Amino acid sequence: MTQPKLAVVYYSATGTVHAMAQRLAAAGEKAGAEVRMRQVAELAPAAAIASNAAWSRHFERTKDEPKAVPDDVVWADAVLFGSPTRYGNVASQLKQYLDTLGPQWLQGLLADKVYAGFTASMTMHGGQESTLLALYNTIHHFGGVLAAPGYTDPLKFVDGNPYGVSHVTGGANDIPLGDAQLAALDHLAERVIRIAAKLNA
Ligand SMILES: Cc1cc2nc3c(=O)[nH]c(=O)nc-3n(C[C@H](O)[C@H](O)[C@H](O)COP(=O)(O)O)c2cc1C
């Protein structure tokens, strides 16, 4: 059986979604997949980044990491997209990446892959589910196989998000990922890889 390929493609301004992506990548490798973890390009003006110390720090720390290109999705059997919640929606940086995939979409190169999403927001009812549902509109257009986690494991009753995996960062935007989120991220990576391996077989 061929080794399943997992792409983790994400945007993160202040590091939370980046930490989620790292956990997914590690879980994917542990589950036997070949993994590409790729951040999408930053689009915000320098002045906006400079106005936020955490954003500036994260930008400097990650600016030389490999950037997502269309082939990262074409290459993969399973794709996990991550975005901070922005007004209950997908960050424009990730949306811009998705919007560059028109040629691949037109050729049917994005279809029949396994997809799911992850997000973070500052507040508990701040729009995590609407962000994931907005992201999933695009997956329908790809002809992707949406593998939302549902409540397919008892641990999903603890993290509580059947639409994907999400984390609340709190008012100071600094609450680290807890055991419930880490377990849910591991579960999400294992699940999409398991389903992709079945589709490949
Ligand atoms: C423009 C903007 C819009 C945001 N909208 C929301 C929102 O709708 N709900 C919410 O709870 N947090 C919102 N936040 C907070 C971010 O979602 C939170 O800081 C983010 O999840 C942290 O992820 P990151 O560290 O990966 O950037 C917003 C932040 C910005 C800058």
Name the token pair of 117: 């999403």
Q: Which CATH architecture is the domain 5-200 placed in? A: 3-Layer(aba) Sandwich (3.40)
CA 78 / ligand 1 centre spacing (Å): 26
3-class secondary structure, 172: coil
DSSP designation for 177: P
Q: How many CA atoms lie within 13 A of 139 on its CB side?
A: 20
| Ligand 1, atom nearest to 11 Cα | 26
Cβ of 39 below 6 Å from ligand 1: no
Cβ of 4 below 6 Å from ligand 1: no
Specify the pLDDT at position 1: 65
Specify the pLDDT at position 2: 85
Cβ of 93 below 6 Å from ligand 1: no
Residue ranges for the chain with pLDDT beneath 70: 1
Specify the pLDDT at position 24: 98
Specify the pLDDT at position 195: 98
Cβ of 82 below 6 Å from ligand 1: no
Specify the pLDDT at position 96: 98
